[in-house]
Amino acid sequence: MELNLKGKVALVIASSQGLGKAIAIQLAKEGAHIMLTSRNEDKLRTVKEKIAGIGEGLVSYCPCDITKPEEIQRLIKQTNDDLGKVDILINNAGGPPGGTFDKFNDEDWQKAFELNLLSYVRIIRAALPDLKKEGGRIINIASSSIKAPIPGLILSNTFRTGIVGLAKSLAEELAPHNILINTVAPGRIATDRTAYLDQTKADNQGLSLEQVEEASKKMIPLGRYGSPEEFAKVVTFLASDASSFVTGISLLVDGGMVKAI
């Protein structure tokens, strides 16, 4: 299957580690030019060095706090200056703190909103002039909580679901410009975020990390956590020409864990 990603420019948000890093690497393997970004410049530099030897495309990076509108504007400008345009936008952000409703005040809710939903709105708005020129792809990374809320993650449950409404609405608005937008929702993928949530659960329940992991794996039909590379391959398909009639969908990558239809 020809993905036709060679020479395309992909802006991958939160790409210094975890799922974002895995996505950037997979896109680079297919020949795309990559703009990396996160708040940690040292990590970005390390990832750039790793990706530079993988594919034929160019690799650049720009530190950015995606909760700040002025930094998003600078990121888009830097992407254009370094790579010429934006063809593919991968929206991604670290998850908000875990906890139940009574643990969070207005400031906590506002921070989660700005990081996990408003940042996506702002980045899409900033990238749209480029995407409208030749068409493109927007892929929003969410969580399996868009189908089944996860206990103890009320902030994530609330704002990740908002991402689905945003994408479904924009799928219709942006279709005349040949811009496809989809949501990809990871389940239990072996990342630092998953390890943090498992450790928090273990601490709260007086269990070992291994006990929590084994209990989680029993809920997954495939019997294991997914790898970041497996998740990245799904995102890469949606970023490619092979997905040319797919827009507005929400796709779970969870090994069959979520039982919702």
Report the mean per-residue pLDDT for the chain: 96
Q: What's the pLDDT at 55?
A: 85
Per residue in 163-177, pLDDT tens? 999 999 999 999 999
- The full set of domains in the chain, from first to last, is 9-187+227-249 (3.40.50.720), 190-225 (no CATH)
Q: What's the pLDDT at 1?
A: 86
Write down the pTM of the prediction: 0.95
CB 36 within 8 A of CB 63: no
Per residue in 8-34, pLDDT tens? 999 999 999 999 999 999 999 999 999
Backbone φ and ψ of 181, nearest 5°: -130, 130
Q: Residue 61: is its pLDDT beyond 90? A: yes
For the segment 180-198, the average pLDDT, to the nearest whole number, is 94
Per residue in 106-152, pLDDT tens? 999 999 999 999 999 999 999 999 999 999 999 999 999 999 999 99
Q: Residue 76: is its pLDDT beyond 90? A: yes
* 126 vs 83: CA distance, rounded Å: 16
CB 5 within 8 A of CB 31: yes
Q: Residue 95: is its pLDDT beyond 90? A: no
Q: What's the pLDDT at 261?
A: 85
Predicted confidence band at 193 (pLDDT cuts at 50, 70, 90)? confident
For the segment 79-106, the average pLDDT, to the nearest whole number, is 96
- The Cα-based distances of 238 to 3, 102, 123, 159, 185 in angstroms read 10, 38, 19, 22, 13
For the segment 44-68, the average pLDDT, to the nearest whole number, is 96
Per residue in 207-233, pLDDT tens? 999 999 999 999 999 999 999 999 999
